[in-house]
Structure 1
């Protein structure tokens, strides 16, 4: 049954793919180790309420990338694996809106509210969130259902995944999205 306080919110799951399980490949450490589980909990709510779901899959054009379609890392993680009939949006850049039909699908369904979860906070999640906000959608970015990895600074300094995550969220909050918890989303959907 489609009953929610929000008008037909869409859940956008960004790049929750097996390749992101290789923590060493992405920076050696990550935050929010339960992010995929939190995303899965929201996905189950969306399925139970027959709300719109969009699975975004990064398909790197680099044949050596762990996220290239020829590599097993490209596959969705089992915890959020799409069901038959759920939309899969394949992209090869940071934004789920560039080179895809995501905006067309959202607009054709007259969706105004987007809930965004996924990987990684400072890359594809951030870029997609920024574009969604610029397109005029009401965007809820779920802080505990997103995650990222350690980064090296320009001078070789180490920045923790949690610092990168929190900085990315702070840059998005109240300008491109409302940054919220999964518990908040559960209360309004």
Structure 2
């Protein structure tokens, strides 16, 4: 495994609202630490970082605009020069300038972290893979929540996380760990 020149770290929905208790139990309690570790690694090398911010169309959402939940968490606040892609649906490519920005930057590889694994992370990684990007999803730097399936059966967040990663692995993306990425970054 090796990081390409211009490998871009994409942080998905690291906003205050994601900590809203009504979202329910989650997995990967150390995910934010892993995200911060990767972000620090990227920034120390002046590698490209893109922040994705969800602006919901639903007033019931934790990401409804013009309330605190939509704001970035302090530790993941974009720095000057780090682009912010604002989206209204889970897929960060849909109706945004993300693909054009990546093409302009000569980017061929995306490292995706954030929340929720089964929602915005999976949707964005699927499109990235379909568009031909070498896409890595960092499993210990993503998390999700308990979720009910179509038939009414509840699944714990770790099961939902595992299924989403299983959906991506090998077809749309390569699922990796933070350690894998950091090792690849030191080799490159």
Q: Aligned match of 1:91 in 69, 74, 87?
A: 87
CA distance in 2, matches of 1:117, 1:170: 16
1:124 paired with 2:154, answer no
Q: Residue 163 of structure 2 corresponds to which residue in structure 1? A: 167
CA distance in 1, matches of 2:146, 2:17: 16
4+ runs deviating over 4 angstroms: none
SS at match of 1:89: strand
Q: Residue 10 of structure 2 corresponds to which residue in structure 1? A: 12
CA distance in 1, matches of 2:37, 2:148: 32
SS at match of 2:65: coil
CA distance in 1, matches of 2:135, 2:150: 31
Q: Residue 135 of structure 1 corresponds to which residue in structure 2? A: 131
TM-score normalised by the chain length of structure 2: 0.94
1:5 offset after TM fit, Å?
Answer: 4.5
State how 1:33-182 maps to structure 2 within 5 Å: 33-182=29-178
Give aligned pairs, total. Answer: 184
CA distance in 1, matches of 2:31, 2:74: 14
Unaligned segments of structure 2, at least 5 residues: none
Please provide the CA RMSD for this pair.
1.2
Unaligned segments of structure 1, at least 5 residues: none
1:37 offset after TM fit, Å?
Answer: 1.4
